[in-house]
Amino acid sequence: MFQLRWVWTRMAGCHRRYVFALFSTAALAVLALGNSMITARIMDTVFYPLQESGTVTPEVMHQLIVLVAVLVGFVLFRTGFGYLQIMMYETCSQKLIYELRRDLYKNMQEQDQAFYGAYRTGDLMTRLTGDMDMIRHAVCWVIRQLISCTVLFFTTAITFLVTDWQFALTMLAVTPFIFFLTYMFSKRVRPLYVDVREKLSSLNTAAQENIAGNRVVKAFAREDYEIERFDEKNQAYREANKTSSLLWLKFSPYIETLSQSLSIAVLLVGGIFLINGRITIGTFTMFNGLTWTLSDPMRMLGMHLNDLQRFFASSSKIIELYYAKSTVVSRPDAVKSKGRIKGEIQFKSAGLRLHGTEVLEDIDLTVNPGETVAIMGPTGAGKTSLISLIPRFTDVTKGEVDIDGVPVRRYDLKSLRSAIGIATQDVFLFSDSVDGNIAYGDSDMSEEEVKRFAKMADVDFAEKLSEGFDTVIGERGTGLSGGQKQRIALARALAVKPSILILDDTTSAVDLETEKYIQEQLANLDFPCTKIIVAQRISTTKRADKIVVIENGRITDVGTHQELSQKPGYYREVFLLQNGQDENMKVSVKEVG
C-alpha cells in the first residue's frame, strides 16, 4: 500500500481536485440507484393504481409527467456531474505523470556510470513509458472504479436491507463466496504481474540492443539468431501474459455464475414475495432493476484488483528509480570555481577499485596548467579509468585528485565539468545537425564560432554533405566514417573552450596527415588549456610535454618522447614497433622524432 501513499504525496497541488473527484465518484455511485427508485415510484403511484382502476385520471397523468421530468433532470444532472468528475481525474493524472516523468528523467541525468552500468536501456525505457502509463491508469481509472464498486455495493445492500431485509439477505447470501474468490485471485495474480513486467522489460532490452547493434548483427549475418533470440523473449512475454490471464479465467466462471445467480434469486424469491403480497410491484421492480448494482461490483472487483496489482508492480519500479542515488554528487559545501580554472591537475596516491578489482593503484602525477600530457599503455591498463577521475565520472577509492589545488570532490559538479572538454573513446553523436552536435555544450554559439572549431578539428568535410553543416547525422552519426565522427566529437569538445581538454583515443581513426593538422591546431589554441591525450600512436604522443606510461593500473614511466624512446620499456617497444623495427635493431630516435 505504500505505493499508493507515495503516489498521493507526488500529487501535491492536485490533492483538493483529486479528493473532489473521489467524492464525486462516491456520490455518482449513490446516485446510480436513483433511476431505479424513480422508476419504482412510477410503478407504485402510476401504473399499479392504473391497472387496478383501469381509468386514467388527470392526477395520475400529472404524477407521471412530474416523475418522468424528475427522471430526465436526474439523468442530465448525473451526466454533467460525471463529465466534471472525469475532467478532474484526467487533469490530476496527466499533471502527476508529467511531473513524475520530468523528475524521474532529471534524476536519471544525475546518475553516475555505475547506474548506467547496472540498468539496461530497455528496462529504463519501460519504466519511463509503460510503468508510467500504469500509474496514470490506476489514478484515473482503477481507484475510481474501486470506489465506485464499493460504494455502489454497500449503498445497494443498505437500500435493500432497509426496504425488505429478508429479500435482501437472500440476495446477499452469495456475496461472501464471491469476495473470497476475488481475494484469492488477487493474492495469486500479484507475482504473475511482477513476472509480466520483468518479461516486458527484457523484451524491450532485446529490441533496443538489437536496433543499436544492427551493424554488428549484419556484419556477422546473425539476423536469424537475433530473430530467434527476440522470439524467445517474445514467447516468454506471451506466456507470462497468458498465465496471468488464464488465472482470471480459472476464477471468473465461478464469480460470474454466483453473480448471475442474483437475477435468479430476484425472480424466484421476489416473485414468491410479490405473489404473497409481501412486497409491492414497485419494490420488485427496484430489486430487479438494481440487481446489477450488486452483481457488477462483485464481478468487476476482480478485474480492478487485477489492475491494482499491475499498478503495484509498475509503481515499485518507478519508486526504485525515483530514489536511485548517485554516489558522485556535489557536496553541500561544494565550491564553484571563481573565474576560469587554470588547469593544474594532481593525482595524489590515487587508487580505483571497481567491483573488487584494483583498476588503478598509487597514481602520483602532476600536470601543470597549459601542459600537454599523453597517456599511453597496453589495452586494459587503466588509461580511460585514469582520465575518468578528472571530471568525476568515477570517484577515487584511495588518495585524491586535485584541480588547481582543490580536490575534485569539493567542486560543484556542474562547475567542474563545464571546465572540461571531453571526446570519449566511444564516439556518440546526437540525432541533430552537424553544427547542432558541435554546439552541444553551448546552444547559443554563433555559426562563425561553430565553423571556427569545426576547422580546428578538420570537420571541413561537412561542407560537402547534402545540407552542409545543417545535415542531420542520425543517432550514431550514421553515414559518417569513424574518423569523421571523431572529428565532430573533437570539435564539440573544443567548442566549450575548456580549461582541461581530455581526448581518449580521439584521433585513432583519422589519417596521419589529418592527425598532424589537428595536433598543430591543438598546439595553437587561442585559449589556455591543459590537454590530456590518451593515444596509441607515437605520432600523437611525441609532441607532448610529458608522456605517462600506464601498465596494470600503475604508472611505470613518465618522460618526454626523447627520454622514453631511448629507455628500455613499453614506450620504446611501441616506438620501435611503429617504426618497423624491433628491440634488437639499433635506431636513431632522431630519425623518427
Ligand X SMILES: Nc1ncnc2c1ncn2[C@@H]1O[C@H](COP(=O)(O)OP(=O)(O)OP(=O)(O)O)[C@@H](O)[C@H]1O
Alpha helices in 323-424 (DSSP H): 383-388, 413-417
Total Cβ atoms within 10 A of residue 273: 20
**Nearest to ligand X of 471, 536 (CB atom):** 536
Per DSSP, what are the bridge partners of residue 400?
348
In whole angstroms, the minimum distance from the beta carbon of 462 to ligand X comes to: 28
Angle at 556 between CA 552 and CA 557, to 5 degrees: 145
Q: What is the DSSP letter of 327?
A: S
384 binds ligand X (CB under 6 A): yes
CA distance 57 to 148: 41
Residues in the chain: 593
| Span 305-334, contacts to ligand X by CB under 6 A | none
Q: What is the DSSP letter of 267?
A: I
| Span 411-430, contacts to ligand X by CB under 6 A | 425
Among 172, 381, 389, 408, binds ligand X (CB under 6 A): 381
3-state helix, strand, coil in the chain (%, to 5): 65, 10, 25
Which range touches ligand X (CB under 6 A), out of 123-131, 276-284, 378-386, 452-460? 378-386
111 binds ligand X (CB under 6 A): no
385 binds ligand X (CB under 6 A): yes
In whole angstroms, the minimum distance from the beta carbon of 495 to ligand X comes to: 25
392 binds ligand X (CB under 6 A): no
Strand pairing report for 345-354 and 398-403: antiparallel
Strand pairing report for 357-367 and 345-354: antiparallel
The H-or-E segment that residue 366 falls in is strand 357-367
Per DSSP, what are the bridge partners of residue 549?
376, 557
96 binds ligand X (CB under 6 A): no
206 binds ligand X (CB under 6 A): no
Among 38, 40, 194, 359, binds ligand X (CB under 6 A): 359
State the cell numbers at 558.
Answer: 613518465
Which range touches ligand X (CB under 6 A), out of 170-178, 223-231, 375-383, 433-441? 375-383
Q: Are 373 and 545 in contact (CB under 8 A)?
A: yes
Q: Which amino acid is at 549?
A: V
Q: Are 371 and 545 in contact (CB under 8 A)?
A: yes
Binding mask 117-156 for ligand X (x = CB under 6 A): x---------------------------------------
**Nearest to ligand X of 282, 377 (CB atom):** 377
Which range touches ligand X (CB under 6 A), out of 21-29, 64-72, 217-225, 355-363? 355-363
In whole angstroms, the minimum distance from the beta carbon of 463 to ligand X comes to: 32
Q: Which residues contact 231 (CB under 8 A, 6 or more apart)?
A: none
In whole angstroms, the minimum distance from the beta carbon of 382 to ligand X comes to: 4
Question: What is the SS3 assignment for 388?
Answer: helix
**Nearest to ligand X of 415, 539 (CB atom):** 539
357 binds ligand X (CB under 6 A): yes
**Nearest to ligand X of 304, 383 (CB atom):** 383
433 binds ligand X (CB under 6 A): no
**Nearest to ligand X of 382, 498 (CB atom):** 382
355 binds ligand X (CB under 6 A): yes
Question: What is the SS3 assignment for 15?
Answer: helix
Kindly report the backbone phi and psi dihedral angles of residue 358, in degrees, each rounded to the nearest multiple of 5, phi listed first.
Answer: -80, 105
In whole angstroms, the minimum distance from the beta carbon of 121 to ligand X comes to: 17
Angle at 195 between CA 190 and CA 196, to 5 degrees: 95
Among 22, 128, 354, 558, binds ligand X (CB under 6 A): 354
**Nearest to ligand X of 113, 368 (CB atom):** 113
CA distance 148 to 551: 69
377 binds ligand X (CB under 6 A): yes
380 binds ligand X (CB under 6 A): yes
In whole angstroms, the minimum distance from the beta carbon of 393 to ligand X comes to: 11
Q: Are 14 and 95 in contact (CB under 8 A)?
A: yes
Total Cβ atoms within 10 A of residue 279: 21
In whole angstroms, the minimum distance from the beta carbon of 19 to ligand X comes to: 48
Among 382, 391, 399, 421, binds ligand X (CB under 6 A): 382
Binding-site residue total for ligand X (CB under 6 A)?
14
Q: Which amino acid is at 119?
A: Y
Q: Are 312 and 135 in contact (CB under 8 A)?
A: no
Binding mask 505-524 for ligand X (x = CB under 6 A): --------------------
Which range touches ligand X (CB under 6 A), out of 55-63, 249-257, 320-328, 380-388? 380-388
Residues in contact with ligand X by CB under 6 A are 117, 354-355, 357, 359, 377, 379-385, 425
